[in-house]
């Protein structure tokens, strides 16, 4: 049964993770008895519980796993290679260099950026459509 049919909760007092069936009307934590909880989802990658309000923000991954995947060496570059976009460039460059040469030049320039800027650009790019990025990761891993 999926969490949509049987939501998962995390107690804000003791941290207990628990589910309730529709038949149960007592929403209190089975561990400490308090009614102070948030609905959570479980990260597909690491199994960590995170707030359900962020479920679609990172395509079913917690923020830590999404950032790790987005900034893993060359991951965003490979993803971008399959999600190309048209751009306008200087006409001389377009006549002088092939598309693959322009890609090599830009790749070399990207590697020269400070690491924190590269990570930010990778996160921004992969966050444009987080579900597509996560689906791409799953396709690559055969999941």
* pLDDT one-digit tens code per residue, 102-135: 999 999 999 999 999 999 999 999 999 999 999 9
Are the beta carbons of 71 and 47 closer than 8 angstroms?
no
Range of the domain at 26: 8-54
pLDDT at res. 108:
95
**Are 76 and 116 in a shared domain?**
yes
Q: How many Å from the N-terminal Cα to the C-terminal Cα in the chain?
A: 20
**Are 99 and 75 in a shared domain?**
yes
**Are 73 and 128 in a shared domain?**
yes
Q: What's the number of domains the chain is made of?
A: 2
In a domain, 112, yes or no: yes
Residue in the structure block whose two tokens are 């519980």: 49
- Residue 82: band (very low, low, confident or very high) from pLDDT cuts 50, 70, 90: very high
**pTM strictly above 0.75:** no
pLDDT at res. 143:
67
Contacts 24+ apart (CB under 8 A), 75-84: 75/122, 76/121, 76/122, 76/125, 76/126, 77/107, 77/110, 79/125, 79/126, 79/133, 79/136, 80/125, 82/136, 83/132, 83/136
In a domain, 87, yes or no: yes
């Amino acid at each position: 049964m999926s969490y949509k049919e049987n939501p998962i909760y995390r107690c804000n007092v003791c941290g207990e993770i628990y589910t309730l069936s529709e038949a149960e009307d007592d929403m209190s934590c089975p561990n400490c008895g308090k009614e102070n909880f948030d609905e959570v989802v479980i990260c597909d990658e690491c199994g960590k519980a995170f707030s359900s309000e962020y479920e679609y923000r990172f395509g079913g991954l917690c923020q830590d796993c999404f950032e790790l995947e987005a900034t893993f060496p060359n991951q965003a570059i490979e993803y971008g290679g399959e999600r190309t976009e048209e751009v306008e460039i200087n006409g001389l460059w377009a006549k002088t260099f092939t598309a693959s040469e322009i890609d090599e030049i830009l790749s070399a320039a990207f590697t020269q950026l400070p690491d924190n800027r590269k990570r930010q650009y990778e996160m921004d790019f992969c966050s444009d459509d987080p579900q597509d990025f996560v689906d791409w990761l799953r396709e690559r891993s055969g999941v």
